[in-house]
Chains A and B, each alone.
Chain A
Amino acid sequence: MEEPLLSVRGLTKHFKPAGFSRGSVVRALEDVSFNVPRGKVVGLVGESGSGKTTIGRSVLRLIEPTSGEVRFNGTDLTKLSAAEMRRQRKSMQYIFQDPFASLSPRMTIGQILTEGLEIQRAGTRQERTQRAKAALAAVDLPADAFDRYAHEFSGGQRQRIGIARALALEPQLIVADEPVSALDVSIQAQIVNLLRDLQIRLGLTMLFISHDLAVVEYICDTVIVLYLGRIMEIASSEALYADPRHPYTRALLSAIPSPDPAKSRTRQILKGDIPSPANPPSGCVFRTRCPHAAEQCARVVPPLEEVSPGHFKACIRHDVSG
């Protein structure tokens, strides 16, 4: 089997309370392992506090993981020095959620697009300009955008600029963190199509973070469902939507309001709140809201088990979760 581009093993991140405050440790990620094969899109889905953004940031070491390995092309990134990490980052780029906050208002689009190339000392000034212009063309923006400022563009266009900035470095891996969540519905589909098109055309490998399960279905090959910092289920997107195995995945899919009033509303409504990651439940973290929770669930952390080829779930209630 070909080595995956990205391989995450036992990734754990605990945030310590700041300063002298007496709060408890926030367990944002607990023992997360998964692979991102070359040329594939892996989706990370989950609600607030599920750890999806923490994974994205840990992979690029924008935050330092507490323990675990992040192997990129076989190199464990967590062991690298800052200078070595900077060299690796050329091959990994991040697309942010908020296209209004992620572009400097004082720089021209050209400066924004060439900055990364300058930091990486890639090519001559002329070559850098050329690559930036090619990236603009790739995201369907006019060439004259190069000399304009971010405020002259709409939300959807700014997100295209954010994508162009990531593409300019010709990265091997793109981490896209809720790239369409801040956009209007009619613009979301345009950006999703652009990302899908670029992914296929350029053979990009992508970690796609989103809370929108319908968008994830369209763009991802594999989906990882997270809850309170742990993986609940991993499956191909076909299998996950047709045959969700984990009670949480089923509840999550059932909670999404369907834009079809004729559809029968047999919604399963989960009771209670998402627990605090500062004080997660013992055993299975989902058990406090799970309709099938048994006594055992409080005692053991359910291991991620393969239920059919490529389909994993972390639930010991095989009798109800299939």
Chain B
Amino acid sequence: MHATPILDISGLKMVFRIGGREVAAVQDLNLTIAPGETLALVGESGSGKSVTSLSVMGLLPRGVGQVAEGSILFRGKAGQAQDLTKLDTEGMRQIRGNDIAMVFQEPMTSLNPVYTIGEQIAEPMRIHLGRSHKDAAAAAIKLLADVGIPDPERRAKQYPHELSGGMRQRATIAMALACDPVLLIADEPTTALDVTIQAQILDLLQKLQAERGMAVLFVTHNLGVVAEIANRVAVMYAGRVVETGTVADVFARPRHPYTIGLMRSVPKLGEATELKRKGIPLPTIAGSVPSLVQLPQGCSFAPRCPFAIDACRADVPSLYETGNGQKSRCIRWQEI
């Protein structure tokens, strides 16, 4: 992708203040997303993937989490780039729900139980686009149809509790799309759903993206979902991106030991029977994710890494270019 990115995060460091101490939840973060592209941010608990998406939206509680370094350049509908880290509350409010919209894991937390589905989808259009009540209500019904909700006129008059989990997630997607955003941030949008419903929602997101040409930042822990939906992937571990590249390259030739370990430790359907017959245990990553409060010296993954040598424990490795835009934060990337 050589188009001018719509999102350009550079040198971002997000700091949390916990018990008088500063903890970096995200650091050395550089990411770009081109128009129409889907970037997947993948990682386990505490990797910093959700903090990254929340900081783009300016949704981290003030005084608790804040940007310590770096910039988040965003090119919205108006066309010129602005640094989201420099915007005040009002400036951010203009962008949120309008230029950038978000879909969360749990649809019930983003839907208000005392308003109808139709009212909630219409609201951003009235606020950001200045549309009339009547006009926005009609547009809301059309959006519900677009996200595949049958009988949209009736559904628009219902309250969130009257919808199933899958339908609610469709409704939050309709709400996110209301103002035709240029960037959609989807934070584990299918994690709370059953697998047959997840398949429907992934299919819907792909269809909507193709129709509207919006960019998507897709946060997930599920490598299967990444393979299905994304063009590019950034793998995060303990607050840093450890590997990034196109999905095809990273899945075919992972260049970071953590990515390799993560891919191996997901049991693959149809292959486990063979392992079981031979009595081979599932491949694992030894140990557990380090606490952000006391990150190990040097490479954060070194204590769990089968390839670690003394040099790994000296300094934090930089992101090495390994070819075709793929990058790995491993000093031994050529050997693995």
**Residues on A facing B (Cβ under 8 Å):** 47-48, 154-157, 184-190, 192-193, 196-197, 211, 213-215, 217-219, 237-238, 241-242, 251-253, 255-262, 265, 267, 269-270, 273-274, 289
Contact = CB atoms under 8 A, between A and B. Distances in A.
A120 B202 CA distance: 50
B78 to A, nearest CB: 35
Contact of B199 (A156, A197, A270): A270
Nearest to A263: B227
> Which of A196, A213, A214 lies at the interface centre, i.e. has the most chain B CB atoms within 10 A of its CB?
A214
A233 B226 CA distance: 30
B251 A241 contact: no
13 contacts: A154-B289, A157-B288, A185-B223, A187-B288, A189-B282, A193-B282, A217-B267, A237-B276, A238-B273, A242-B270, A256-B195, A259-B268, A261-B251
Nearest to B286: A190
B196 A218 contact: no
A184 B45 CA distance: 7
A257 B248 contact: no
A260 B248 CA distance: 9
Contact of A258 (B166, B224, B248, B272): B224
Closest 6 CB pairs of A and B: A257-B224, A218-B272, A47-B194, A217-B272, A214-B267, A186-B285
Given A186-B265, A262-B248, A273-B166, A255 B196 contact: yes
A61 B299 CA distance: 50
- How many chain B residues sit at the interface, stated as a range, is 35 or more
A270 B200 contact: yes
B242 to A, nearest CB: 13
> Which of A157, A190, A253 lies at the interface centre, i.e. has the most chain B CB atoms within 10 A of its CB?
A190
B108 to A, nearest CB: 14
Given A237-B273, A270-B199, A259 B251 contact: yes
Contact of A252 (B196, B247, B267, B281): B196
Contacts of A255: 195-196, 198-199
A197 B281 contact: yes
Contact of B284 (A189, A218, A237, A253): A189
